[in-house]
A = this chain, B = another copy of it.
Amino acid sequence: MTTAAKIAVIGLGAMGYGMAKSCLRAGHEVWGTDISPDPVERFRAEGGQPGDLKDVAETLDIVVVSVLNADQTSAVLFGPSGVARMMKEGSVVIACATVAPDFARDMASRCNDCGLHYLDAPISGGAAKSAKGQLSIMAAGSEKAFEVASPALDAMAENVFRLGEVGAGSAMKAVNQLLAGVHIAALAEAMTFGMTQGVSPEKFLEVIPQCAGTSWMLENRGPHIAAGDYTPLSQVNIWPKDLGIVLDIARDAKFSAPLTAAALQQFLAAAGMGLGGEDDAAVAKVYARNASLDLPGDD
Partner of A194, one of B172, B182, B208, B210: B172
Give per-residue flags for A198-240: 1 if the beta carbon is below 8 A from chain B beta carbons, else 0: 1100011011101111111110100000000000000000000
> Is residue A273 within 8 Å, beta carbon to beta carbon, of the partner chain?
no
Which A252-266 residues have C-beta < 8 A from chain B? 253-263, 265-266
> Is residue A76 within 8 Å, beta carbon to beta carbon, of the partner chain?
no
Partner of A249, one of B175, B180, B197, B212: B197
State the 7 A-B residue pairs at the shortest beta-carbon distance, nearest first: A179-B213, A215-B215, A171-B197, A176-B213, A196-B253, A175-B194, A258-B262
Partner of A207, one of B161, B177, B182: B161
Is the CB–CB distance between B262 and A259 below 8 Å? yes
The complex is assembled from copies of this chain, and their number is 2
Is the CB–CB distance between B257 and A197 below 8 Å? no
Is the CB–CB distance between A259 and B159 below 8 Å? no
Interface of A is mostly: helix
Is the CB–CB distance between B138 and A207 below 8 Å? yes
Known: A171-B197, A175-B190, A199-B171. A265 touches B255 (CB 8 A): no
Is the CB–CB distance between B126 and A212 below 8 Å? yes
Which residues of B are found within 8 Å of A259, using beta-carbon distances? 182, 185-186, 189, 259, 262-263, 266
Which residues of B are found within 8 Å of A136, using beta-carbon distances? 210-211
Minimal beta-carbon separation of A116 from chain B (angstroms): 24
Question: Mind listing 28 A-B residue pairs with CB under 8 Å?
Answer: A136-B211, A163-B207, A172-B208, A175-B197, A176-B208, A177-B213, A178-B190, A179-B208, A182-B190, A182-B259, A183-B183, A183-B186, A183-B213, A183-B215, A186-B259, A189-B259, A193-B246, A193-B255, A193-B260, A212-B216, A215-B215, A215-B217, A255-B287, A255-B291, A258-B266, A259-B262, A259-B266, A261-B262
Question: A124 to B254, alpha carbons, bound, how many Å?
Answer: 37
Partner of A213, one of B180, B199, B214: B180
Question: A291 to B249, alpha carbons, bound, how many Å?
Answer: 13
Question: A211 to B185, alpha carbons, bound, how many Å?
Answer: 17
Residues of A that sit less than 8 Å from B by CB: 101, 124-126, 136, 138, 159, 161, 163-164, 167-168, 171-172, 174-180, 182-183, 185-187, 189-194, 196-199, 203-204, 206-208, 210-218, 220, 246, 249-250, 253-263, 265-266, 287, 290-291
Known: A161-B206, A175-B193, A197-B101. A125 touches B255 (CB 8 A): no
Is the CB–CB distance between A190 and B179 below 8 Å? yes
Question: A124 to B207, alpha carbons, bound, how many Å?
Answer: 11
Question: A257 to B194, alpha carbons, bound, how many Å?
Answer: 11
Question: A259 to B257, alpha carbons, bound, how many Å?
Answer: 11
Question: A102 to B282, alpha carbons, bound, how many Å?
Answer: 30
Which residues of B are found within 8 Å of A253, using beta-carbon distances? 193, 196-197, 291
Question: A175 to B263, alpha carbons, bound, how many Å?
Answer: 18
